[in-house]
A = this chain, B = another copy of it.
Amino acid sequence: MTTAKPKVGFVGLGIMGKPMARNLVKAGYSVTVFDLVGSAVEELVTDGAAAGASAADVAKKSEVTILMVQNSPQSEAVLLGQHGILEGAARGHLVVDMSSIAPLVSQKLGKACAAKGVDFLDAPVSGGEPKAVDGTLAIMVGGKQKDFDRARPLFDKLGASAVLCGEHGAGNVTKLANQIVVAANIYAVAEALVLAQKAGLNPETVFKAIRGGLAGSTVMEAKAPMMFNRNFKPGFRIELHFKDLNNVMETARDYQIPLPMSAYLQQVTAALVNSGKGKLDHSGLLQFAEQISGVEVKKP
């Protein structure tokens, strides 16, 4: 059985949202987009998308609306606020919030949607801009199986994997788990290279020596060269990882569990944001480890 492609709305055309929306246009979907940045909308229109007048207008013209914004307050505003998605969404509309936000906010948004007969999934992603461009993101989903099945063809165009992790909020809990591992891994590579540099070793040689062993990781492959080449162009900004780690610690507080390593990483990102380094790629966590050690990691 073949089904017609649903009309898709896409709100939020930032570093991640723009290539994601573009992949849906390329896949033959009729896509209506909205962003506060007009130039981003124009780019997508050039690619073949239609421009909506607001998030509400996008939802009115679509059957499924994807949301890709920066944080919990933005998700709430775009979904629940004036001229927001719920103003335009008909009963049976599916909202897919692919933003990385607090799990409790996802639960709240799911309830607000249900009250209007609108279906909801939280579906944050991992992989950064390169995988957004390639359509190979890892997608972590919270919500009902029937809604997951409905969104599946879209996820297949955006990601290499999409996994239903549980009820509303479960996608964002999984994303927080992901962000703990990513931040810890970056900072571990940073401490490892600071130690090696201080001992007089070439950090690039150390990278080559350990990448093939148990220390090997996607983070090491992506971020260690950025560190010793001193290229901190984002990618994924420290200020966004700070937001995610704040969500980790808020969630942990709600559950009354201590996560000491995550707490340390949250404080490292806080220090970097406060010293004006929030716009750097998160490989720039290195700069905190360097600052407290008086060491600069750099290949000779």
- Using a CB–CB cutoff of 8 Å, the interface residues on chain A facing chain B are 103, 125-128, 131, 137-140, 160-161, 163-166, 169-170, 173-174, 176-185, 187-189, 191-196, 198-202, 205-206, 208-220, 222, 248, 251-252, 255, 257-262, 264, 289, 292-295
Select one of B177, B194, B210, B252 contacting A257, CB under 8 A: B194
Is B215 touching A216 in the complex (CB atoms < 8 A)? no
Given A163-B205, A257-B294, A258-B292, A126–B215 Cβ distance below 8 Å? yes
Is A192 touching B214 in the complex (CB atoms < 8 A)? no
Is B214 touching A174 in the complex (CB atoms < 8 A)? no
Bound-state Cα–Cα, A103 to B163, Å = 44
Q: Which residues of B contact A206 (CB under 8 A)?
A: 165, 173-174, 177
Select one of B103, B137, B194, B202 contacting A213, CB under 8 A: B137
Is B195 touching A252 in the complex (CB atoms < 8 A)? yes
Give the nearest-CB partner of A236 in chain B. B214
Give the nearest-CB partner of A136 in chain B. B212
Q: Which residues of B contact A257 (CB under 8 A)?
A: 194-195, 198, 292-295
Q: Which residues of B contact A126 (CB under 8 A)?
A: 210, 213-215
A260: min CB distance to chain B, Å: 6
Name 28 interchain pairs, CB-CB below 8 A, sorted by A. A125-B213, A126-B214, A127-B213, A140-B209, A140-B210, A161-B209, A161-B212, A169-B199, A170-B200, A170-B201, A173-B195, A174-B205, A174-B209, A177-B210, A180-B188, A180-B191, A181-B217, A181-B220, A184-B188, A188-B261, A191-B262, A195-B252, A195-B257, A198-B257, A199-B251, A214-B218, A259-B293, A260-B264
Q: Which residues of B contact A184 (CB under 8 A)?
A: 184-185, 187-188, 191, 261
Q: Which residues of B contact A131 (CB under 8 A)?
A: 213
Is A216 touching B213 in the complex (CB atoms < 8 A)? no
The listed residue with most B CB atoms (<10 A of its CB), out of A138, A205, A210, A264, is A210
Given A205-B163, A258-B292, A261-B261, A178–B251 Cβ distance below 8 Å? no
Is A173 touching B185 in the complex (CB atoms < 8 A)? no
Is B259 touching A194 in the complex (CB atoms < 8 A)? yes
Q: Which residues of B contact A163 (CB under 8 A)?
A: 205, 208-209
Give the nearest-CB partner of A125 in chain B. B213
Q: Which residues of B contact A127 (CB under 8 A)?
A: 212-214
Is A181 touching B215 in the complex (CB atoms < 8 A)? yes
Select one of B164, B169, B199 contacting A103, CB under 8 A: B199
A208: min CB distance to chain B, Å: 5
Give the nearest-CB partner of A267 in chain B. B260
Is B259 touching A185 in the complex (CB atoms < 8 A)? no
Give the nearest-CB partner of A142 in chain B. B201
